[in-house]
Amino acid sequence: MELVNFKKISLKNHPELTEKFVQDQIANDPKILGLGELILKDKERIQSGAGRLDLLLQEPESNRRYEVEIQLGKTDESHIIRTIEYWDIERKRYPQYEHCAVIVAEDITSRFLNVVQLFNGCIPIIAIQMNAYETDNKLGLIFTKVIDELKFGFIDEDEEIAEITDRNYWENKGSKKTVQLADKLLIFIKEIDPSFEIKYNKHYIGLTKNGNPYNFASFRAKKTNLRMEIRLEKSDEIETELNESDLDLMDYDRRYGRYRIRLTEDDIQNNEELLKKLLRRSYEYFSS
C-alpha cells in the first residue's frame, strides 16, 4: 500500500477556491458534513432584511432542518450572529419543523467555542471545522464536528421534581380509550419485568420499576391516539421495520434520542410482536 502525502491548504488564501465552491460541494453531497443522510432544500435562501442563508438541509424522513452557514478562515462574531439570526428566522417562519443552526468554518477558535457553548442548550447549534488537503492537483475536504447539540437527559433524571397527577387527569387531557392503550402496552412491558407499573406525571405517562422511575418508554394520551416515545439509538434497521409495518412513525427526536410513534387500538392489535420487540430493545438500550 502506497503512502500518499497530503498538503494542508487554506481555502481563504487560495487564489481560485471560494466559499461558493465549498457551498456547491456540500449542496451536491450533504452527507459529507457528517450529519447523516440529508437532502438539499435550498441554497442562497433569501432572508427578509437579513441577507442569504448559505444552505438549508433537511432529514428526508423527518421534520428536522439544518440552517448551514459557511465561512472560510477564522470564525468571527458576525458569523455567529448571522448563523443564529438565520436559524431564528427559519424556525419562526416554519414552526412545524425542528431547526438546528450549523456553523462551518476552517478555523474555529477557542474564543468562538466558549461563546457557542454559552448558547448551546438554549439554541440547538452545531460547529463543524473544515480542513482542506491537496495532492497531485486533487483536493480533499474533511469536516469534523467540534460542537454537537446539547443532549438532554433521561426523563427520570429529574423525576424528583416532576409534578405527579393521576389517571383522571390524563383521561380528561386525552380520553379514557387512549389511556387504556397505555394499559395494553404495560402488559407487554410486564413480560420484560412484572415489577413495572405506570406512573401519571403532568407532562407524560411514565414507568416505574420496583417503585423507582424507569422511563425507557413514555406515553402521552391524545383524544384519538396514544403517542409512545421509546429511547433507542437511531438505526436504519429499526426504521425499515417501522416503515414496513402500518405503524405511524412521527419522527426521531435527536435531542432526546427517541422514536415517537402514534398508536391506535388497531395498531397495537395488528403489530403486537413488533411493539414487544421495540419495547424490549428500548429497555435493553436504556439499561446498558
CATH number of 155-287: 3.90.1150
Architecture of domain 7-147: 3-Layer(aba) Sandwich (3.40)
Q: CB–CB of 242/261 below 8 Å?
A: yes
| pLDDT reported for residue 8 | 87
d(CA 89, CA 96): 13
Q: What is the pLDDT along the chain (288 residues), one digit of tens a residue?
A: 777 678 888 888 888 888 999 999 999 999 999 988 899 999 999 887 778 999 999 988 777 899 999 999 888 778 888 889 999 999 999 888 889 999 999 888 777 777 766 766 678 888 899 998 988 888 888 999 887 765 545 455 444 445 678 999 999 999 999 999 999 999 999 999 999 999 999 889 999 998 888 999 999 999 999 999 999 988 888 888 988 898 998 888 777 788 999 999 999 999 999 999 999 999 999 887
**What contacts 24+ positions apart, CB below 8 Å, involve 46-49?**
47/85, 47/86, 47/89, 48/89
| pLDDT reported for residue 102 | 93
Look at the pTM and tell me if it is higher than 0.75: no
| pLDDT reported for residue 163 | 67
Distance of CA 158 to the CA centre of its chain: 21
| pLDDT reported for residue 64 | 85
Task: Tell me how crowded residue 257 is: count the other CB atoms within 10 A of its CB.
Answer: 16
Q: CB–CB of 279/192 below 8 Å?
A: yes
| pLDDT reported for residue 162 | 55
The structural domains of the chain, with segments of one domain joined by +, span: 7-147, 155-287
| pLDDT reported for residue 149 | 63
d(CA 68, CA 84): 10
d(CA 253, CA 236): 15
Joined together, the cell numbers standing for residue 57 give 438541509
Joined together, the cell numbers standing for residue 14 give 487560495
Joined together, the cell numbers standing for residue 64 give 428536522
Joined together, the cell numbers standing for residue 1 give 500500500
DSSP state string for the chain: ------EEE-STT-SS--HHHHHHHHHH-GGGGSS-S-EEEEEEEEETTTEEEEEEEE-TTSSEEEEEEEEEEE--HHHHHHHHHHHHHHHHH-TTSEEEEEEEEEE--HHHHHHHHHHBTTB-EEEEEEEEEEETTEEEEEEEEEE-PPPPPPGGGGGGGPPB--HHHHHHHS-HHHHHHHHHHHHHHHTT-TTEEEEEBSS-EEEEETTEE--SEEEEE-SS-EEEEEE----HHHHHHHHHSS-EEEEEETTTTEEEEEE-HHHHHHTHHHHHHHHHHHHHHHH-
